[in-house]
């Protein structure tokens, strides 16, 4: 069994707790301050509080070429992060998400430090139910935490849930627009090449409809920092058969473009 150590910090509250454990990833520390904080890199920040994060680079290219986007700034660093602004919705920023929890979740924490309070995420993932068609949209209720990043932001649990009030508002907006959707859990994993048959079966039994690589982190950051976050993930490749089926999911340009435009509407509503 683990033990609990008191760690005085002299700010925020009298003391915070580091919960020592035999497994380092489970040693949650609720101290909100670290040696290196996103505020160290926030600079002057953004002039708006709304952002869409997408994993569809061709949509960004199309919007730029058509005049629907313009570059707002580039966050410097070893891996510079371009930030774009919708030309018809100047209060909404758009950026390309980075693959995996540390990159995507870390950037999200930085975006919040720069002033972002409302985020809509749109991406794709592998379906765990063959009845989920390519392009079918899942409103994310939560993520099974089969990764390491989220455990640095929230205490250990099997599932991290989105804010139900935010998710309900997303659903209400979709229904008003007559957009068909599913609602449920995703399975977030760090290891794309370790999605074995037994693990897939277990995650499906637990209620996961789609597997992907970022949601547990993004949800955890949003809950820890207390800002509005929602995600739409569309059904992509199929992991339910004896062999993997790509289903040409990356070529669904219409679905991907429409999702980005939809999220640019939804981010104002959450």
Q: Mean pLDDT over residues 32-40, rounded?
A: 92
What mean pLDDT is predicted for residues 72-95?
Answer: 95
The pairs formed by 199-205 with CB atoms below 8 angstroms and a separation of 24 or more are: 199/146, 200/128, 200/239, 200/240, 203/128, 203/144, 203/146, 204/128, 204/129
Q: What is the pLDDT of residue 236?
A: 65
Arithmetic mean of pLDDT, 79-98: 96
Res 239 pLDDT > 90: no
- Residue range 29-53: mean pLDDT, rounded: 93
For the segment 110-116, the average pLDDT, to the nearest whole number, is 98
pLDDT at residue number 241: 62
* pLDDT for residue 14 is more than 70: no
Per the model's pLDDT, the better-predicted residue between 6 and 185 turns out to be 185
**What's residue 190's pLDDT?**
95
Residue range(s) in the chain whose domain bears CATH number 3.40.50.1580: 49-266
Half-sphere exposure of 261 (CA within 13 A, CB side): 13
Classify residue 59 as exposed, middle or buried by CB count within 10 Å of its CB (0-12, 13-18, 19+): buried
Q: Cα(124)–Cα(130) distance, rounded to whole angstroms?
A: 15
Q: What is the pLDDT of residues 174-232, one digit of tens each?
A: 999 999 999 999 999 999 999 899 999 999 999 999 999 999 999 999 999 999 999 99
- In this prediction, residue 246 carries a pLDDT of 52
Q: What is the pLDDT of residue 10?
A: 33
- First vs last C-alpha separation in the chain: 41
Tell me: pLDDT of 157 over 70: yes
Q: Considering only residues 240 and 262, tell me which one the structure prediction assigns the higher pLDDT.
A: 262
Residue 86 is predicted with a pLDDT of 98
Is residue 4 very low, low, confident or very high in pLDDT (cuts 50, 70, 90)? Answer: very low
pLDDT score of 129: 85
Q: What is the pLDDT of residue 243?
A: 64
Domain boundaries 49-266, CATH class: alpha beta
Give 253's pLDDT tier (boundaries 50, 70, 90).
low
Query: Predicted confidence band at 242 (pLDDT cuts at 50, 70, 90)?
Result: low
Look at residue 42 and tell me whether its pLDDT is greater than 60: yes
Ranking 27-36, 182-191, 231-240 by mean pLDDT, the lowest is 231-240
């Amino acid at each position: 069994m683990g033990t609990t150590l008191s760690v005085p910090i002299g700010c925020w509250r009298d003391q915070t707790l580091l919960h020592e454990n035999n497994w380092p990833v489970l040693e949650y520390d609720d101290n909100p301050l670290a040696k290196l904080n996103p505020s160290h890199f926030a600079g002057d920040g953004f002039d708006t509080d709304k952002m869409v994060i997408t994993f569809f680079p061709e949509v960004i290219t199309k919007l730029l070429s058509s005049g629907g986007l313009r570059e707002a700034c580039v966050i410097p660093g070893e891996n510079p992060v371009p930030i774009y602004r919708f030309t018809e919705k100047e209060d909404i920023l758009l950026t390309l998400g980075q693959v995996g929890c540390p990159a995507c979740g870390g950037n999200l924490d930085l975006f919040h430090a720069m002033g972002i309070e409302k985020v809509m995420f749109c991406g794709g993932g592998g379906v765990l139910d063959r009845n989920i068609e390519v392009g079918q949209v899942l409103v994310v209720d939560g993520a099974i935490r089969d990764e390491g990043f989220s455990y640095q932001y929230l205490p250990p649990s099997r599932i991290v849930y989105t804010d139900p009030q935010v998710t309900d508002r997303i659903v209400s907006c979709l229904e008003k627009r007559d957009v068909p959707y599913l609602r449920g859990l995703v399975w977030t994993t760090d290891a794309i090449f370790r999605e074995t048959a037994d693990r897939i079966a277990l995650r499906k039994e637990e209620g996961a409809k789609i597997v992907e690589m970022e949601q547990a982190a993004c949800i955890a950051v949003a809950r820890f920092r207390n800002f509005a976050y929602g995600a739409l993930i569309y059904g992509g490749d199929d992991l339910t058969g004896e062999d993997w089926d790509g289903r040409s999911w990356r070529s669904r340009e219409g679905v991907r473009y429409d999702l980005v435009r939809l999220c640019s509407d939804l981010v104002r509503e959450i």
